[in-house]
């Protein structure tokens, strides 16, 4: 009996891993590095503050919408830095263009710069390159009801309550 239970659990794990492996996220960069044009324009940085293009494929069939977050765990804040939080991406979408234009119905949540939309990287001068974790969540609802002015933490809490799949890509940036 125990042997059957272990086999069933192993098969379930392999199946869930295979499904997750099909869901992929790609972020345009220069050899794994965010380009200068993506860098923030302020705080001593002089970039174009243009979001990189983002592409995905292989979403779970149960997805009804997507949410995208971009997070820097290396920021010297004690809690990291949220650069971009996008919710209510339509289930039929599979990319966002360079520059950060969003499809109809999608909306950006306030980032840690206090703005909605893309807030590019701007690590302190002299720091080792920071890691920028792009995470695309497949969600089980067509839209999320997140209040205007919500923090990235609140958006993350609501997002995590509806995840049916997740894909990540990590790029770096330093100056």
- What distance in Å separates the CA atoms of residue 66 and residue 50, rounded to the nearest whole number? 21
pLDDT value at position 14?
A: 33
CATH number for the domain whose boundaries are 24-173: 3.90.280.10
Tens of pLDDT along the chain (175 residues) come to: 433 333 333 333 333 333 456 999 999 998 899 999 999 999 899 999 999 999 999 999 999 999 999 999 999 999 999 999 999 999 999 999 999 999 999 999 999 999 999 999 999 999 999 999 999 999 999 999 999 899 999 999 999 999 999 999 999 999 9
pLDDT value at position 148?
A: 84
pTM greater than 0.75 (yes/no): yes
From start to end of the chain, where are the E strands?
Answer: 24-27, 41-42, 45-46, 54-57, 65-72, 81-90, 95-96, 107-109, 130-139, 163-173
Q: Is the separation of the CB atoms in 52 and 29 below 8 Å? A: yes
Across the strands, what pairs with 171? 132
Domain boundaries, the chain: 24-173
């Amino acid at each position: 009996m125990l042997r059957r239970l272990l086999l069933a659990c192993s098969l379930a794990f392999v199946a869930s891993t295979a499904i997750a492996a099909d869901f992929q996220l790609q972020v345009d960069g220069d050899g794994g590095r965010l380009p200068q044009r993506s860098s923030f324009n302020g705080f001593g940085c002089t970039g174009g503050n243009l979001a990189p293009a983002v592409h995905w494929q292989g979403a779970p069939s149960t997805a009804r919408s997507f949410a995208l977050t971009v997070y820097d765990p290396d920021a010297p804040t004690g809690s990291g830095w949220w650069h971009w939080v996008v919710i209510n991406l339509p289930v039929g979408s599979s990319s966002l263009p360079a520059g950060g234009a969003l499809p109809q119905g999608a909306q950006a949540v306030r980032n840690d710069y206090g703005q909605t939309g893309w807030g590019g990287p701007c690590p302190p001068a002299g720091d080792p390159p920071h890691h920028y974790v792009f995470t695309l969540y497949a969600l089980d609802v067509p839209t999320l009801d997140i209040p205007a002015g919500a923090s990235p933490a609140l958006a993350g809490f609501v997002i995590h309550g509806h995840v049916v799949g997740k894909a990540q890509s990590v790029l770096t940036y330093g100056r």
